[in-house]
């Protein structure tokens, strides 16, 4: 199997100085950085997924184009500076994006999914209809959301549809 690491929405608005800070972000930032390094060491390609609010739908509370908050966290960009960036406007990273084409170019058959928010963009991407051809693993120690409780509930819900593993076990 050919793996690809999807790093979903590690963007400034989700961190302490952003417009919608999440729970446990500094730990997740470090864990995702470690996962990216492990992926590089094993030849696993990394794909950044970046949510940009759809301006046609009006101003959103965060992730608006041209703002510092929409940018991918600088530590994540530094960890994978040459990784392709797939821009999305919906929770499902496949919907209306270049993700499938990017995965096809990489001949990926297995997706390692991590990022923010566990119950929303991570879940919608992991169980997307478009993800069905892939073996999907969600990296439990590389995801976060608004609270630990919501994170754990989302992982429990995902457990019936995809594999759950730590980054160290999956990469």
Spatial separation of the C-alpha atoms in residues 160 and 90, rounded to whole Å: 23
CATH number for region 3-170: 3.40.50.850
Kindly report each contact of residues 39-43 with a partner whose C-beta sits within 8 Å and lies 24 or more positions away, as own/partner: 39/3, 39/5, 39/112, 39/171, 40/80, 42/171
Whether 79 contacts 10, CB under 8 Å = no
Q: Per the confidence metrics, is the pTM higher than 0.75? A: yes
Whether 51 contacts 121, CB under 8 Å = yes
Kindly report the backbone phi and psi dihedral angles of residue 7, in degrees, each rounded to the nearest multiple of 5, phi listed first. -110, 105
- 143 included as an active-site residue: no
| Domain residue extents for the chain | 3-170
Q: Which of 114, 121, 142, 143 is catalytic?
A: 121
Return the pLDDT at 59. Answer: 75
Which helix (H) or strand (E) segment holds residue 139: the answer is: strand 135-144
Tokens of 165: 């593993």
- pLDDT per residue of the chain (171 residues) written in tens, 0 to 9: 799 999 999 999 999 999 999 999 999 999 999 999 999 999 999 999 999 998 888 778 999 999 999 999 999 999 999 999 999 999 999 999 999 999 999 999 999 999 999 999 999 999 999 999 999 999 999 999 999 999 999 999 999 999 999 999 999
**Block residue for tokens 């730590």:** 166
Return the pLDDT at 54. Answer: 86
Residue 95's SS3 state is coil
CA distances from 132 to 16, 47, 58, 109 (A): 35, 18, 32, 10
């Amino acid at each position: 199997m050919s793996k690809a690491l999807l790093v979903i929405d590690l963007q400034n608005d989700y961190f302490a100085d952003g417009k919608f800070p999440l729970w446990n972000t500094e730990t997740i930032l470090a864990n995702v950085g470690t996962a990216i390094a492990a992926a590089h060491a094993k030849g696993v390609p990394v794909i950044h997924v970046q949510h940009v609010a759809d301006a046609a739908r009006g101003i959103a509370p965060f992730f608006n184009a041209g703002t510092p908050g929409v940018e991918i966290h600088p530590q994540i960009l530094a960890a994978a500076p040459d990784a392709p960036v797939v821009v999305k406007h919906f929770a499902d990273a496949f919907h209306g994006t270049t993700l499938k084409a990017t995965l096809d170019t990489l001949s990926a058959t297995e997706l390692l999914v991590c990022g923010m928010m566990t119950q929303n963009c991570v879940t919608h991407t992991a169980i997307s209809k478009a993800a069905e051809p892939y073996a999907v693993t969600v990296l439990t120690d590389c995801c976060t959301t608004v609270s630990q409780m919501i994170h754990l509930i989302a992982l429990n819900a995902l457990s019936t549809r995809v594999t759950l593993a730590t980054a160290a076990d999956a990469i």
